[in-house]
Chains A and B, each alone.
Chain A
Amino acid sequence: MPLILLIIWETTCRAGVVSPIMLPSPSAIVIKWVEWLRSGELLVDVLGSLGRVTGGFLLGAVLALPLGLFMGASPRIYEYFNPIVQVLRPIPPIAWIPMSILWFGLGNPPAIFLISLGAFFPILMNTIAGVQNVDGIYLRAARNLGAGRGTMFRRVILPAATPYILAGIRIGIGTAFIVVIVSEMIAVNNGLGYRILEAREFMWSDKIIAGMVTIGLLGLAIDQIMNALNNYLLRWHRGLDT
């Protein structure tokens, strides 16, 4: 099916039915992609985008995880932080762009801020839910065996909440990926997001689509890595038996 689609796409383009600006042919896109790769620019862009995703995601995760654990474990801390979380959470990271540029100027800092924001809330919400949903029987069993607070957190609550946390991380990475492209379009001058916007200026449709495909492939690769991590960390979980 995808092959048939590609053939139809290629032949319509070659027949001159659509202008190459509106829809370049697949072969033109591939040629452009190889050219982009050989110039060395693609690598810089990919690494730039990945670097920002990684930095922003880690920052968001490092903040969200402990806060989520504490909010999930203590009703007092939950009550304290929940109102502000509920107000901030629905604001899409995109809406933070103007303020982040005012605060951090241009370049990587606002991009990383926005990405971390995008990753922060899904991880936070899922971590809270994960901790709150830990089956009480495990807490009782652990207390019975003499577990103190530290052991309880590290060896009982954290692993029990891992399925939720990983789901949150997955959503967080997805959001981070969306936000990195948007923030590169606005605040940075390299990266895949910047490059496809730049290509638009010159009407390089083939490069725009080559960039889009690259983003898609990177997303797929990250998802595969997450899948493998999931399967490893949750190898004890019944849900993964097939």
Chain B
Amino acid sequence: MDYISITNLSKKFEGNGQIVPALQGINLTLSRGEFACLLGPSGCGKSTLLNAVAGFIQPSSGEIVVDGRPVIEPGPERGVVFQEYAIFPWMTVYRNIAFGLEIQGSSATETAGRVDALLDKLGLREFRDRFPKDLSGGMRQRVAIARLLAIDSPVMLMDEPFGALDALTRRTLQDELLRIWRESGKTILFVTHSIEESLYLANRIVVMTYRPGTIKHDQTVTMEYPRDPAGVEFNELKRELGRLVMEEQERHTRDEMKMV
């Protein structure tokens, strides 16, 4: 059963009199509960694809259907964790997490119960009434994740959410995300340029080509969790995916050299 289905999706950007084909003929289907990574160098359109699923950008052609409904605009059933820290700086941690629930008209007691449970779950309890400026990058992304868990988005779209974090914080958050995913059965589409990150997290890795973005390789990963980044299978796959990604990275580099 296809939960997310992307059919013949293309997106062209126009600017400076040039037309840049960001995505071309993308066909991709995800089952409910899958954890899929979009992997590729910058400029491969992976974020564009994610934003199209989120409903932030309209495709030039093609269609995206999530849970039987065509995507035409953003919605809470497709929650996004952004690359930058997009939690609201003028709201406390509590208010940030409660925001989506309040929009849905949930009662104060219901909201409080839900938010407090999430604060505990993500280790944010002591930051409950703090503003984001007092939080580290890792803590802010926890809030961003909690904000989606609060409204129970069945689909989580994550755009390099841990890219700006130090290696140890990143690993901690990856582990927590895996725990949340396995407990909740959410469907996750996760953009990254880190091969290792994709192998640590996903049970499906989609490698994209550099400009126009197409699907170069679709890899199912069956390794048991928790995965060992030093293990044999992990590293065999890492080498193979690395080769694929680097081919595209070289095209990206050549393109950049031409522009100078």
Tell me if A138 and B86 are in contact (CB < 8 A). yes
| Main SS at interface, chain B | loop
Q: How far does the alpha carbon of A216 sit from the alpha carbon of B82 in the complex, in Å?
A: 49
Q: Which of B133-167 contact A (CB under 8 A)?
A: 133, 147, 151
Tell me if B133 and A237 are in contact (CB < 8 A). yes
Q: Which listed residue (B56, B84, B88) contacts A156, Cβ 8 A?
A: B88
Contact with A along B76-114 (1 / 0, CB 8 A): 101110101011111110000001100110000000000
B133: chain A residues at CB < 8 Å are 236-238, 241
Q: Which listed residue (A141, A142, A145) contacts B151, Cβ 8 A?
A: A145
Tell me if A146 and B100 are in contact (CB < 8 A). yes
Tell me if A159 and B90 are in contact (CB < 8 A). yes
A241: chain B residues at CB < 8 Å are 133
Question: What bracket does the count of chain B residues touching chain A fall in?
Answer: 20 to 34
| Main SS at interface, chain A | helix
Q: Which listed residue (B78, B88, B104, B132) contacts A141, Cβ 8 A?
A: B88
Tell me if B103 and A147 are in contact (CB < 8 A). yes
Q: How far does the alpha carbon of A241 sit from the alpha carbon of B133 in the complex, in Å?
A: 9
Tell me if A145 and B103 are in contact (CB < 8 A). yes
A146: chain B residues at CB < 8 Å are 75-76, 100, 103-104, 151
Tell me if B89 and A237 are in contact (CB < 8 A). yes
A76 within 8 A of B: no
B131 within 8 A of A: yes
B151: chain A residues at CB < 8 Å are 145-146
Assuming the A-B contacts A140-B74, A144-B75, A146-B76, are A236 and B90 also in contact, with contact meaning beta carbons closer than 8 angstroms in the complex? yes
B205: chain A residues at CB < 8 Å are none
Q: Which listed residue (B74, B86, B132) contacts A137, Cβ 8 A?
A: B86
Q: Which of A104-156 contact B (CB under 8 A)?
A: 137-138, 140-148, 151, 155-156
